[in-house]
Amino acid sequence: MAALLHIILGRGEDGMAPNIEHIEFEDGTSWFKIVLPVQRNWLLFGLFTLCVLVWMGMLVGIISKMLSERYTIILNVMLVIWLLIWIWFGRVLWRRWQYYAANREILFINERQILVRRPVSILGSTEAFDMSHVTPFYYSEKHQCPAFDYAYQHVYFGQSLLPAGAQELVGSLNDRFFPDAEDV
pTM: 0.74
For domain 2-38+102-177, give the CATH number: 2.30.29
Per-residue model confidence as pLDDT tens digits over 44-76: 999 999 999 999 999 998 888 888 877 788 888
Per-residue model confidence as pLDDT tens digits over 73-115: 888 888 889 999 999 999 999 999 998 999 899 999 988 999 9
Instruction: State how far the alpha carbon of 108 is from the alpha carbons of 36, 68, 93, 98, 112, in Å.
Output: 11, 48, 25, 19, 11
Q: How far is Cα 55 from Cα 61, in angstroms, rounded to an integer?
A: 10
Per-residue model confidence as pLDDT tens digits over 127-160: 999 999 999 999 999 999 999 999 889 999 998 8
Domain assignments of the chain as residue spans, ordered by start: 2-38+102-177, 42-100
Q: How far is Cα 143 from Cα 152, in angstroms, rounded to an integer?
A: 17
Q: If we measure between CA atoms, which residue out of 62, 57, 53 comes closest to residue 85?
A: 62
